[in-house]
Amino acid sequence: MTAPAQVSAPLAMLAELTHRCPLACPYCSNPLQLDRRSDELDTATWVRVFQEAAALGILQIHLSGGEPAARRDLVELVAGAARAGLYTNLITSGIGLDQARLAALAEAGLDHVQLSVQGIDEPSADAVAGLAGSHRRKRAFAAMTTALGLPLTVNVVLHRGNLAALEALVEEAITLGARRIELAHAQYYGWGLINRDALMPDRASVIAARTTLDRLRAATQGRIVIDYVPPDHFALYPKPCVNGWGQQSLNVTPRGRVLPCHAAETIPGLEFWTVAEHSLDVIWRNSPAFNAYRGEDWMVEPCRSCARKAIDFGGCRCQALALTGDARNTDPVCTLSPHHLRVEALADTPLTNTTLVMRGRSAQGVEALPHDEPLADRMSPACRDRP
C-alpha cells in the first residue's frame, strides 16, 4: 500500500464524539463494539483535531455519536469547531438538550441541526427508539431549534416497519418545522445486519415507495426538500459509497481512530492511525487504511475493466466484505458481480414472518439488549394495517 502521488483534500468530517446514547435503535450505525466513555478524546484534543481539519481543507463537520449531547463539553466543542472556521452540523436524537443548552450551542456558532425521528407517532417511534417518551421530547426539541432560528433537517431511517408511512413521515417533518427531510434506507452492516430479517422491506414495497416519493416531492415542493437514499439490495448498480474511499470524507471515532467510513473497522487487517499519534493531515495522506482502497489499483474484475468504476468506485467495501467475505470484491449489489445472486436471494426472500424480534443496541453503550416485542407491535398502524 503506497500513498498515491496526489491526494485531494477532504470536504467533510464526521466527529463521533461519543458512542453513549439514550436510544437503542436496531439499525444504529455505531460499531457492535462500542467505545467506552473512559476512552473518549478530551476537549482539548477534539479542538486541536478541528483546527487540523480546517487546515487540511475540510469545510464542514458533523458532530455526531451516539448522542453528542452526552458530552458535557458539547458547547466548548462547537465553539472550537466554529473558531476553526468549520460549518458545524449537530446530528442528534434531541434527547439531552434543553432550551438553555441549545441556546448556548447557537451562541457558540452552531450552524445546523439534524434530528433523528423514528416514526410518525409516539407508540411506534418510541418502540423503535427503545425509549418511552422520546418522540414527545423530539417534538419539543424541534420547536426549540426552530425558535432559535437554527435550520432543521429531519433524518429518518427507512425499513419494513415504516416504509408505507412515507407520506405521514414527511408531514411530521413539515409539522416539526424542518426545511429538509432525509429518508435513508437502513444499511445492513453492524446492528443493521443483525436485524436485517426484521428490517429489510420486500421488493414490491420498495417500488411502491418510489412512486409515493415522486408524488410527495411534487406535492410538497417549496415546503420541504426530500432527500432519498434508496435501498442497496434492489438496485442494479451500487452506491458510490462515501463518494470513494479516502476521496472526500473521514470519520473520527470517540477514541480518536480515523476511518475512511463509519463501518471500516469491520474490515479485518486494516491499520488505522489515531489523532493521538499523528496529525489529521498525515493520517489522511499516509494512513494504510486510507490508502488500502484509494484509486483503482486494488480493484479486481469486473470493476477493474468496467466503465462505471469512476462513477461508483466499485460500490461499498464494507458491504463487499459482509456479503462476499472479501472487501476487495465488487460490491455484490452490482448486477455484474459474480456474487450478485446472493443479493437477489436476500432481496426476494419472502417476508411473511412479522414476529421477528429486533435487537436494539444498548442505551448504555456496552452490550446488546433484546427488544422483546414482536415486530408487528413495533410497527406504525399505517404499516401494520396495510394489506
Please give the residue ranges that form the binding site for ligand SF4 (CB under 6 A): 237-238, 302-303, 306, 308-309, 312, 314-315, 330-331, 334, 336
- Interface pick for ligand FES out of 20, 135, 317, 361 (rule CB under 6 A): 317
**Angle between the 166-176 and 134-147 helix axes, to the nearest 10 degrees?**
50
> Interface with ligand FES includes 264 (CB under 6 A)?
yes
- Interface pick for ligand FES out of 186, 252, 318, 363 (rule CB under 6 A): 318
Question: Quick one: which segment of 31-39, 175-183, 200-208, 311-319 binds ligand FES (CB under 6 A)?
Answer: 311-319
> Interface with ligand FES includes 233 (CB under 6 A)?
no
Q: How far apart are the first and last CA of the chain?
A: 53
Question: Quick one: which segment of 102-110, 165-173, 316-324, 366-374 binds ligand FES (CB under 6 A)?
Answer: 316-324
Q: How far is the CB of 159 from ligand SF4 (least distance, A)?
A: 25
Nearer to ligand FES, 75 or 333 (CB): 333
User: Which residues, in sequence order, are CB contacts of 221 under 8 Å at separation 6+?
Assistant: none
> Interface with ligand FES includes 261 (CB under 6 A)?
yes
Nearest-angstrom CA–CA distance, 320 and 340 = 10
Q: How far is the CB of 260 from ligand SF4 (least distance, A)?
A: 17
Given ligand FES, ligand SF4, none, residue 264, with its beta carbon under 5 to 8 Å by kind, binds ligand FES
For 146, list phi and psi in degrees, rounded to 5: -70, -30
> Interface with ligand FES includes 316 (CB under 6 A)?
yes
In angstroms, what CA-CA distances link 181 with 213, 232, 274, 326? 12, 20, 33, 34
Strand residues in 133-271 grouped as ranges (E): 152-158, 180-185, 225-229, 249-252, 258-259
Nearest-angstrom CA–CA distance, 7 and 290 = 10
Helix (H) or strand (E) holding 61: strand 60-64
State the residues that interact with ligand FES by CB under 6 A. Answer: 241-242, 261, 263-264, 316-318
